[in-house]
Amino acid sequence: SMDVSTDVHAAWLPPEAFRALGSHRVLVQGDGPQGVTVYEEVAQACAAYGGRVGRAPGDEAGPYDLVFALTGAEPALPEAAAVLAGGGVGALGDEGFLTARRDGVTVVLADAPAGLLYGLFHVVRLGEAAFGGGDAPAEAHRPAMRTRMLDHWDNLDVHPVMGHVERGYSGGSIFWRDGGPRGDLPRVRAYARLLAATGVNAVSVNNVNVHTAETRLLTERLGDVADLADVFRPYGIRLHLSVNFASPVVLGGLPTADPLDGDVRAWWGKAAARVYEAIPDFGGFVVKADSEGQPGPFTYGRSHADGANMLAEALAPFGGEVHWRAFVYNHTQDWRDRSTDRARAAYDHFAPLDGAFHPNVVLQVKHGPMDFQTREPVSPVIAAMPATRLAVELQVTQEYTGQQRHVCYLGPMWSEVLGFRPWGADSEGRTVAALAADPAAGGGLVAVSNVGDDPYWTGHPLAQANLYAFGRLAWAPHSDPAALLDEWIDLTFVPLLSRDPVPLRRALHAMMDGSWHTYERYTAPLGVGFMVRPGHHYGPDVDGYEYTPWGTYHYADRDGIGVDRTRATGTGYTGQYPQPWSAVYESAERCPDELLLFFHHVPYGHVLQSGSTVIQHIYDTHFAGAEEAAGQRSSWQELAGSGLVDAALHARVLERLDEQVRCAQEWRDQVNAYFLRKSGVRDARGRHIP
Ligand code: BDP
């Protein structure tokens, strides 16, 4: 049924977004769960806006001016048949589609029903532009990434420290409550629908830190997982589970979880078979092993290839995949020992294993070497494993970027990561996006979701844009993030935009386009990272992680600041990059300013490429960042009473902006005061520093 929750915000799919589609005469010829979805979506839109939907050419719904059809069968409409006969765009694949316009009919063709679904949302985005005008040639649309996945760090229960959703800032889980299913499947359906409209096709429904209750999802609670899979399937989304590497011990009562033990392997084989009995299109397992206290193959003296391959063998007969995370490092290091560098860890652990993983293992690598900081270089692992399938992991949930209390549009950051060329720009060097999208070796794009049971889905209503942009970038990584913002604005605010879209668009762009840089300006400087409050990671704490076992240091003293990761005098991390980056990062003169303190320990008087000194840069950016945050609030305040945004949404955003402005000033004052005291160097412009 088309039941979707009504007590939640419509986000980028308000009924009005379907106005154009719903006022036409539409033929839908598709089958299977996703074909049914296309039909139901169109029928609902037509019921609202006066159009008609039919299943066959002769139906009274015709004559049609929009047709959705599969390429396998002879399309019943001559215009569609003509487009098909025209050929020229090649195979569309499982999820691709083509659009064309022929003799007054808009044609959407796909090889498979999921393609029709993505074609439907494409037509929704185009609005009236999908209709009218003369003939338009066939245009093929295919997703760049095969896997476009959101990982939920949801617990079944409220965890005493991490809460319901680990690093969640949007209320409770939409899937789980009180140790079992939350039971609000209409909300899950609404979520699946939103994701499908962005192009997401995979979801993992439980935390990578798998506690005992979540471990049981694999066995006793499999029925609950199957219920969720049934809801996601009509929107083309495959379900995944995070599994506990010690499951054979915890659930199976075996004495060991050694990946080379025969009984352990048999246990996983049976577990996988049971999962596929319940969920035939199950996607696979996500695994965090030997990391931050999670069990893993190291316990048994085995390698991560041994561990991943064992699970891969269990899943292979059913077409499932293992998403094995590369986030493995020592979180109990001795801070007095400068030879350990957390940034090195993933490469040191995994690069030697290149080529050792089975083809259905995807190594899931965080985009940076540390942990989702506001600014990090691209992880060197991404360029180091040509014989391994790699997925890049991003964090939509704003753990280190303002926790959905601050506006921080991450599209520009992700787009920089995806466009980065590990082998340099002037060669034919491939981008990170091309590596993740490679048909043979690519594992796709993954991100940690920012959604919870909050009525706006994401706590901060403007954080919806991050979720939207993630899906769209996974589909088309070279999209312009500002254009994606426009798409999101137009869909989300379409009910009101019909009046005068300009002021709202202007205000939102003013607030959001540069919000990542604004956030960067008032937080930790020049790529040094952290300086956040330990544990929850919100707000400034200048020395919060400095003398701890976590490996996240800035090494500020009276003379200078930064982490020496050079080969010449530091940890040697720069050597993990291919040329030219290895040489660029090695040099304090050539290293990009924004990453200087990630790679180098320099005196406060070091002159940046911008011409400013490090210390003056710190003062200037912190004053500017806090001021920009206040400017964002003013832009939003100007919209009050304009009728351009709903009053409740306006109030919710304003309340968050008040907190952002307060917190940005706190960052400014603490960071500036800290470096004034450390360095003794005054602000050249004489501004007040506490
Ligand atoms: C860190 C989070 C922690 C996660 C971990 C991970 O602080 O809660 O468990 O990443 O990715 O950023 O596994």
Q: Which tens digit of pLDDT belongs to each residue from 371-422? A: 999 999 999 999 999 999 999 999 999 999 999 999 999 999 999 999 999 9
Q: Is 208 in the pocket of ligand 1 (CB under 6 A)?
A: yes
What gap in Å lies between CA 5 and CA 1, rounded to an integer? Answer: 12
Share of the chain above pLDDT 70, in %: 98
Question: Mean pLDDT across the stretch 685-689?
Answer: 98
- CB of residue 446 inside a 6 A radius of ligand 1: no
Residue 160 clears pLDDT 80, i.e. is over it? yes
Lowest mean pLDDT among 43-57, 512-526, 631-645: 631-645
In a 3-state reduction of DSSP, which class is residue 1? coil
Please, how many CA atoms are within 13 Å of residue 507, restricted to the half-sphere of its CB? Answer: 21
Atom of ligand 1 nearest to the CA of 366: 11
Question: Hey, what domains does the chain have and what are their CATH numbers?
Answer: 15-141 (3.30.379.10), 148-492 (3.20.20.80), 519-563+601-679 (3.90.1330.10)
pLDDT surpassing 80 at residue 500 = no
- The per-residue pLDDT for 144 is 97
Q: Is the pLDDT of residue 1 over 50?
A: no
| Cβ proximity of 204 and 240 under 8 Å | yes
Distance CA 229, CA 226 (A): 5
Encode pLDDT of 85-116 as tens digits: 888 788 999 999 999 999 999 999 999 999 99
Checking if the pLDDT of 368 tops 90, the result is yes
The CB density around residue 590, as the number of other CB atoms within 10 Å, is 11
**Cβ(288) – ligand 1 distance below 6 Å:** yes
In this predicted structure, the answer to whether residue 2 has a pLDDT above a threshold of 50 is no
Question: pLDDT confidence of 226, banded at 50, 70, 90?
Answer: very high
Pairing relationship of beta strands 442-448 and 560-561 according to DSSP bridges = unpaired
Q: What's the average model confidence in pLDDT over 27-55?
A: 96
Centre of ligand 1 to C-alpha 359, Å, is 26
What pLDDT score does 478 carry? 96
Tokens of 361: 């293992």
Give 480's Cβ-side CA count (13 Å radius).
5
The pLDDT score that the predictor gives to residue 497 is 55
pLDDT band of residue 145 (cuts 50, 70, 90) is very high
Dihedral sign (CA 257, 258, 259, 265): negative
Amino acid at 26: V
Q: Which secondary structure element, helix H or strand E, spans residue 106, and what is its range? A: strand 105-110
> Pocket of ligand 1, candidates 165, 290, 399, 537: which has the most ligand atoms within 8 Å of its Cβ, to mutate?
399
Is there an atom of ligand 1 within 6 Å of 399 CB?
Answer: yes
Residues in the chain: 690
Average pLDDT over residues 52-70: 93
Helix (H, G, I), strand (E, B) or coil at 143: coil
Range 446-467 average pLDDT: 98
The active-site residue, picked from 65, 393, 399, 586, is: 399
Helix then strand count (H, E) for the chain reads 23, 20
Judge contact between 378 and 573, C-beta under 8 A. Answer: no
> Is 371 near ligand 1, meaning CB less than 6 Å away?
yes
> 448 CA to middle of ligand 1, Å?
10
Q: DSSP 3-state assignment of 309?
A: helix
Least confident of 180-194, 329-343, 652-666: 329-343
Q: What is the mean pLDDT of residues 137-163?
A: 96
Residue 371 falls in the annotated catalytic set: yes
pLDDT reading at 284 higher than 70: yes
Cα separation of 548 and 330, whole Å?
12
Cα three-residue angle 139-140-146, rounded to 5 degrees: 160
Query: Which of 251, 162, 169 lies closest to 208 in space, CA to CA?
Result: 162
Q: Is 41 a catalytic residue?
A: no
Q: How large is the average pLDDT for residues 585-604? A: 98
DSSP letter, residue 34: H
Across 205-219, 452-466, 634-648, least confident range: 634-648
- Across the chain, mean pLDDT equals 95
Q: Largest Cα–Cα distance in the chain?
A: 83
Selecting among 95, 224, 371, 520, the annotated active-site residue is: 371
Q: Measure 506 CA to ligand 1 centroid, in angstroms.
A: 35
Q: Closest by alpha carbon to 493, among 657, 634, 650, 652?
A: 650
Is 508 a residue whose pLDDT tops 70?
Answer: yes
- Mean pLDDT value of segment 439-450: 94
Tell me the β-bridge partners of 392: 365, 445
- Asked whether this complex has an ipTM greater than 0.90, the answer is yes
Instruction: Tell me which of 227, 292, 541, 638 is the catalytic residue.
Output: 292
Q: Measured in angstroms, how far is the CA atom of residue 209 from the centroid of ligand 1?
A: 8
Locate the ligand 1 atom nearest the alpha carbon of residue 448 and give its number. Answer: 11
Residue identified by tokens 């319901």 is: 164
Q: In this predicted structure, what is the pLDDT of residue 641?
A: 82
Both tokens of residue 204? Answer: 């993992």
Contact 601, 562 (CB under 8 A): yes
Instruction: Find out whether 396 and 410 touch, Cβ atoms under 8 Å.
Output: yes
d(CA 559, CA 348) in angstroms, rounded, equals 31
Which pLDDT does position 4 carry in this prediction?
A: 46
pTM for the full predicted model: 0.97
Protein residue with its CA nearest to atom 7 in ligand 1: 167
